Structure formats: C-alpha cells, structure tokens
Structure 1
Amino acid sequence: MAQSLTGKVALVTGAGRGIGRETALALAKEGVNVGLIARTEASLKEVAAEVETLGVQAAYAAVDVSSPEQVEKAVVNLTDKLGTFDILINNAGIMKKGSFLEMDPEDWKQTIDVNLMGVYHVTRNVLPQLIEKQGGDIINISSMSGLKGTAGSTAYSASKFGLLGMSEALMQEVRPHNIRVFAMTPSMVATELTGKGDSTEEEKQKFMQPEDIAEYMIAQLKLHPRIFIKTSAQWATNPF
C-alpha cells in the first residue's frame, strides 16, 4: 500500500523554475509543506505563493548552493519556519557547454561546485535531521550525461557522473537509518536549462516536461518504506 505524504516537510533546491518548481507544486498537492531554495528571490516568492494556495506551508531562501555558509544558514532558517525535513530533493544545477580546452577553467569549476558540491552542502546540512528521525528520502537529480559522456560536456558529465557515485555510496551508508536515496538520470527535459523552456505544443508532445519528472518523484516517494528504487532513467517516448 502506498504511503501518504501528508504532513511531511520537504526541501527542494533549484525550486524557482522548471523541475524544481513543478516538484514543489506536486508535493504541495500531496499535503507536503515545502522549503524552497534557488538563487533568484523573485521566482522563489512566486512559487511559494503558488504552493500556499494549495493549503500547505511554504518558506524560501535565496542562496547559492555552492556556498556552504549560505546553505547552512538557509537550512537553519527554513527548519525554524517549517520544522525538520523528511524529504530532500537535490535538483539545483547548471549546464555550461564547451570543448575541454576552450571552456574557461572557472566555468568548469563552477559546474562542479554547483552540480556536485552543492548537493554535498545541502545534504550535509539536512541529513542529520533524517538520521535523528530514523527515516526519510533523498532524491538526487543526475542526468543521462552522468551515464554517457558526450563531446562538449566534460564539466557537466563529470559533475553528473560524480553525483551518481556519491548517491550510490550515500545510499549504502544511510540504509541502516531507514533513509532511502534515489538517483535519477533523465534525458532531455523541456526546461530553460536545456534550452527547451519555451517549447511549442508540438515539442511538448516529444520532450519530457518538468511535471513528468515531478509526477515520477511523487510516485517513488509514495512507495512503501520497505522498498525504494536506487537509480532510474527517464526517457521521452519519441523525441524525434
């Protein structure tokens, strides 16, 4: 029997748009109170208002997940407002493309700092709460680029391959505490990150939409606590 999510508290990073926004709304529809983290306060404010129209609490913090100091302060503040977390969705990420030699070293480093170290910083601050509760869920959004490298994506692939390795090891560490760690590797999703944020109606029938990923996460979270999906890949049925 699927478990209810009502009354739980979730933290969603990259929550100002795309997958993060749709995930926050999907959680709210299940009765989950939602903490929101992203870099742009204006978009966070809009998402928080939408979440609250669904009858749950929302709180947000505009931070850069690559900053350990900002993340630590944000988690403390959001916990004070919402209570301790049960669910963590690590969705925040950036994508910078360019050949290995052409890409600016700072862009390469920033990709790792956000996509990999950002997940580390947020998880490091939330995980003690889950361990204290002896239960919870962590979902890390990797990418198909974490399974297969392509030309022009050395930094992005490195960050997403690394995230899968971290997720695998963390999963083994926290299973004794009844904490589930899922890693997801979606292919093309129509978001601003992938350059498909303004999809035509025809494209919307071809490319996965943020709400598809959100719906999938809700299904995973509602699984009976005795089971979880360690890693999973999501593909558009026919994106050509």
Structure 2
Amino acid sequence: MKFFLDCLLLLPLLLIFTLESLLKLFIPKKRKSVTGEIVLITGAGHGIGRLTAYEFAKLKCKLVLWDINKHGLEETAAECKRLGAKVHSSAVDCSNREEIYSSAKKVKAEIGDVSILVNNAGVVYTSDLFATQDPQIEKTFEVNVLAHFWTTKAFLPEMMKNNHGHIVTVASAAGHTGVPFLLAYCSSKFAAVGFHKALTEELAALERTGIKTTCLCPNFINTGFIKNPSTR
C-alpha cells in the first residue's frame, strides 16, 4: 500500500521536473566560465570528489585537492594533470580543525585565493546506534559537517572581499530522510543541509550577491563506502 502511495506522490513531481527539463532544453541557461578559477575539493581521492576534480580539470581550472588518502589523491592529481589542469594536492585530515586551518593558510600563501570551494569529504559507518562507537559518531560529524565550517571560515573572507565565489556543500539524500543503521550519517547530513541553507541566507542578508551556493544531495552511489547500495 505504501508503495502505491509513494508512486502517487511521485507523479506530480515527475510532471513538474519533466516540464522544467523541456523548458531548459529550448531555453538553456547561459553557463558561466570557470576557466582560471582556483577550485578546492575535499575528499578528492576517490568517488564523487575524484570525478568532480576531473570535470573541473576539463574546464581549465587551477585545482587544489585534499584527501586523507594520499595514494588515491596522487591518482586523482595525475589524471587531472593529464587532462591539462594545474594541480596542487595535499594529504589533509578533514576531521582535524587545526590541520584544515594550517593547510588553508598554506594554500592562500602559495597558490592564491580559492574562489570555488567544494566541501565533499565524508565518512559513513553502517551499524545500529548501540553498535556505533562513540569515536565513530564524533568522526562522522567532524568530517561531514564541522569541516564545512572550518573550510568556509578559512576561504570565505576573500570571496566576500571580492564579492565573487561559490561554495558547494555535498550533502546527501540522507540529509532529508532517515535511513536505518545510518543514524549518525543521516544526522550529520541533515546538519550539512542546514549549514547550506543558513549560509545562503546569511550571504543574502550581507548582500554578497556574487557568492553563490549549491547543495548536492545524491542518493546511494557505489563509491566503496557502502557495498552494493540499493534503495527504492
């Protein structure tokens, strides 16, 4: 019964999205150029972060790649260079506030002002509440949401001075709905969505219209975090 109700609720959304897609097909939005922009991507060593880096590399951006996985980071950096981008990569633990601040200071001194920040790094632990260890809960929030505060505080001031920039929050569909055995993950992604919404409103209140924000909420993707993901 619930399945049929879900389908009924989905139909009007499908109609709206189809009409929107048709409108964009005939009246496409002008794409902005990001050539030469300094783009920092956290969690660039694999998955969404790696593929995002590849796409920005094709657009001739200057890339700053962070990840705790040094080997994966080197692979991403090598492919981005092959695609023609200038790349700077550093092994950074996004659960460590001071490491984020010190790495950000180094980026600003040696590379320049980051104008596109992609907060993508994330961790997930699949277990019920009582089986999830306290340090795992803390790590989930440190990487999935608190790191967004530290990176944004590090790079937003220059964007505000120039009234130019873009902050991307990679959250999750789990930031809008609860999933069993992903209690800490869902909670952290709800927080990430809230961070994006509040930041967007704050920038508008400060009249920094040149700084854009985007929140991505993908469904399960087979990046290696969760084996054989599936959902209705």
SS at match of 1:96: coil
Q: Does the 8 Å contact 1:11/1:34 carry over to 2?
A: yes
Secondary structure, aligned partner of 1:186: coil
Cα distance in 1 for residues equivalent to 2:67 and 2:91: 5
Residue of structure 2 aligned with 1:7, choices 16, 32, 36: 36
Distance in 1 (CA, whole Å) between partners of 2:228 and 2:55 is 21
Deviates more, 1:168-177 or 1:153-162: 168-177
Which contiguous aligned blocks of 4+ residues in structure 1 show a shift greater than 6 angstroms? none
State the partner residue of 2:57.
28
Q: CA deviation at 1:77?
A: 1.9
Report the structure number with the largest CA radius of gyration: 2
Instruction: Please say which of residues 122-131 and 86-95 is displaced more in the overlay.
Output: 122-131
SS of 1:92's equivalent in the other structure is coil
How far the C-alpha of 1:56 sits from its partner, in A, is 2.1
Rounded Cα–Cα distance in structure 1 between residues aligned with 2:99 and 2:226: 26
8 Å Cα contact 1:33/1:82 also seen in 2: no
Which residue in the other structure is 1:190 paired with? 222
- Percent identity of equivalent pairs: 29
Q: Deviations over 1:11-54 (max 9, x none)?
A: 00000011101101100101111100100222212211221222
Larger helix share, 1 or 2 = 2
Q: Which of 178, 184, 187 matches 1:149? A: 178
Aligned pairs for 1:79-228 within 5 A = 79-175=108-204, 176-177=207-208, 178-196=210-228
Structure 2: 5+ residue stretches without partners: 1-29
Looking at structure 2, the residues matched to 56 and 153 of structure 1 have their Cα atoms a distance apart, in angstroms, of: 37
Whose relative contact order is higher, 1 or 2, with alpha carbons under 8 Å and at least 6 apart? 1
- Write the distance in 2 (CA, Å) between the matches of 1:43 and 1:153: 25
2:168 counterpart SS class: strand
Give the drift of 1:158: 0.6
Residue 221 of structure 2 aligns to which amino acid in structure 1? V
Aligned length: 200
Aligned residue number for residue 200 of structure 1? none
- Output the CA distance in 1 between the equivalents of 2:80 and 2:105: 21
| CA-to-aligned-CA distance 1:177-203 (integer Å, 9 cap, x gap) | 121111111101121123259xxxxxx
List alignment gaps of at least 5 residues for structure 1: 198-206, 208-238
Deviations 1:128-155 (A, max 9, x none): 1211221111111111111001211110
Deviates more, 1:86-95 or 1:118-127: 118-127
Contact 1:10-1:88 at 8 Å conserved across structures? yes
The residue number in structure 2 matching 1:59 is 88
2:170 is matched by which residue type in structure 1? I
**Partners in 1 of 2:195 and 2:53 — Cα distance?**
24
Distance apart, 1:78 and its partner CA: 2.3
TM-superposed CA distance for 1:82, in Å, is 2.7
TM-score, normalising length: structure 2: 0.81
Q: 1:66 deviation in Å?
A: 1.4
CA distance in 1, matches of 2:123, 2:184: 10
2:70 pairs with one of 32, 38, 41: 41
- The CA RMSD measured in Å over matched residues stands at 1.7
